[in-house]
A and B are shown apart, each in its own frame.
Chain A
Amino acid sequence: DIQMTQSPSTLSASVGDRVTITCRASQSISSWLAWYQQKPGKAPKLLIYKASSLKGGVPSRFSGSGSGTEFTLTISSLQPDDFATYYCQHYDSSPLTFGGGTKVEIK
C-alpha cells in the first residue's frame, strides 16, 4: 500500500494568512493526488485533483502543486470559511489511501 503522510497535523493561522500543507507519498504517484476539505459533521469536499487542477467552483485562493512523492496545498489568503480539516488522497493504484489530515484552526 502507498502511505500518505501529511504535515503538520494541526496548523494555527489567522484570517489573511498564507497557509501551506504538505503531503508525502511513500512511493511515486506521478500527479495522481487529490485534496479534500472537511468540516465537522460533514462529508469531505473535493478541492483539487491531479495535484494542481482546481475543481470547478472552488475559490482560486486554493492551489496545489507537486509530483512524484511530495505535494502541497496552499491557501493564499485564509478566509473564515477555510477553517477545516484537509486530507490528501492518492489514486495511483489500489488501495486508495488518504493522509491523516491537517486541521487548520484559528490562531
Chain B
Amino acid sequence: QVQLQESGPGLVKPSETLSLTCTVSGDSLSTYYWSWIRQPPGKGLEWIGFVYYIGSTDYNPSLKSRVTISVDTSKNQFSLRLNSVTAADTAVYYCARGSTVANFIFDYWGQGALVTVSS
C-alpha cells in the first residue's frame, strides 16, 4: 500500500523559508512524478510543482521564483522549499504521486500539512 506523509514546521515567520518533506512508503520514487499541491483554508487547490526521480522539475510560474523541489531517492523522500513566505502562503500542503495512467494527475496523496505563516 502506497503511503505519503508530509513533515515539517507548522509555523513559519514572514520572509522566512517554508520547508516540507514527503516520505513515501510502499513504493519507490523511481518511475513516477511527485508533486506538491497546496490549499489555503476554505479555498481551492493550487499545483506548486513536480520532481521526477532523476531530479528534473517543473514549477507553477506563479511560484517559480520562490520554489525548489528536490528528491532524495536513498531516503525515498522528496522535499519542498518556498522562500520569502507571506501570510498568503498559509495553506494545507499536500504531497502527491503522479498516477500510473497519467503522470500529471494524482492517485496517492499525503494527509496534508497545515503551514501557517505568522510572526
Contact = CB atoms under 8 A, between A and B. Distances in A.
Determine the main DSSP class of A at the interface with B: loop
B70 to A, nearest CB: 18
Contacts of B111: 42-43
Contacts of B106: 36, 44, 46
Interface residues of B, number: 22
Contacts of A34: 102, 105
Nearest to B63: A95
Determine the main DSSP class of B at the interface with A: loop
A50 B107 contact: no
Interface residues of A, number: 24
B61 A1 contact: yes
A44 B101 contact: no
Contacts of B110: 43
B46 interface: yes
Given A43-B109, A94-B58, A95-B59, 10 more contacts: A43-B96, A43-B110, A45-B109, A46-B106, A49-B105, A50-B102, A53-B101, A87-B45, A95-B61, A97-B47
B44 A98 contact: yes
Contacts of B109: 43-45
Contacts of A96: 47, 60, 104
B1 to A, nearest CB: 13
